[in-house]
Structure 1
Amino acid sequence: MGECTVVLVGGNNGGKEHLLQELLGRRQGGAWCYSYRHITYDLRLLPLCALQSPALRGADCTVLVTPALDLQRALAALPALWQRSHRLVVYITDRGAARRRGVIIDPAALSAGLGCPVVVATPYSSRGVNRLLAAVDRVVHFPPVPHTLGNTHIQTVLAAAVRPGNRVRTFRRCRVWTAALCVTLWALVALLLALLLHFGRG
């Protein structure tokens, strides 16, 4: 059975600790590792501000973990990551919060523009983690590909892959549901008062 090292990189409260716990739930044997397709992956955590760490040089794969709303700031670190780790996967968490704020992310366009797999987390489901495991497995079995991405290219990719959605429509739906709920509550109150008056007279 082979062994590989995977480094989870992300900002504070960016989701890398939660992802670590999900991966450790699949571990077999020692701590801070998991097994996938007869390969043992040793896990390490690294904050986004510590990109000079030698741990990146020896990693077989680096996973950049970022919330969807913090995607632009996280991808700004991508050129530095590519210089130290030529096998990279981007893992996006909390895409629902971005949608609620009217931000739509196209993972396929993002992956094509960045030249690395992009996986989106799926809350209340293990599909996102399963896709991440498969993406890491694919990356470590291919020769490393050096990239020379600049900030200008990253901004171009973001402009193509991240677009504004219809936030107003979401708020309108909320207002409609709120109005319907208020009408229902008032109807129940009126019915209750009518029943009280009826039985009170009796």
Structure 2
Amino acid sequence: MLSAIEETQTKNVSVYQEIIATITSLVPADAVYLLGERHAGCSSNSIFYTGRKQENERLSFLYLLIIANLINKAAHEWQDQLEAHCKKIIPCTTIVLNTENFQHWIREGHPFVCHVLKTAMCIQQSEGFINNAGIVPRYLPSMAESILAEGLNMYTEFMAAAELFRVRKQNRLACFMLHQATELGLNSILKAGTGFHYRPHT
């Protein structure tokens, strides 16, 4: 008879298989990495943050999908479509990257890719896919400091613009500037901390 932990682990493997089947039925993925998961009890683990080890039920997953041919769709469109289909099994957040860009980042020693290859669980990989976990990141602490400084400067400027529009009672423009300030600030923190920067729109 399986223990509670063994039953949970078996269930997780089954969920992974269902997710992979769902993804590959929509688009051929060169690789799928599990970046993180959220557990019952509001506990989360990811390749960027490791909390207390949990064996209780998984409530959602964070995946990185490497896709060679986006088939005339933007990455964020694939993300929306894949998340909608995977939600029927379990809620998922997906990051979609083009294979060519991902492999270019491998050759460049990009910090995000380095961390993924070193830490994340690869749950699906096509034959011939380049996966060199021995790469050395070229992302120096000074680069992170520069990114944060630039982001803080942009944040400050947009906040100043928001205050100006507020004084002029241009509330819609003030809200837009606040939105931009928040987005720039958060993106700078994410890029400095993980090496990854994502633009959901142009």
Q: Tell me if both proteins adopt one fold, taking TM over 0.5 as the criterion.
A: no
Please give the TM-score of this superposition, normalised by the length of structure 1.
0.27
Please give the TM-score of this superposition, normalised by the length of structure 2.
0.27
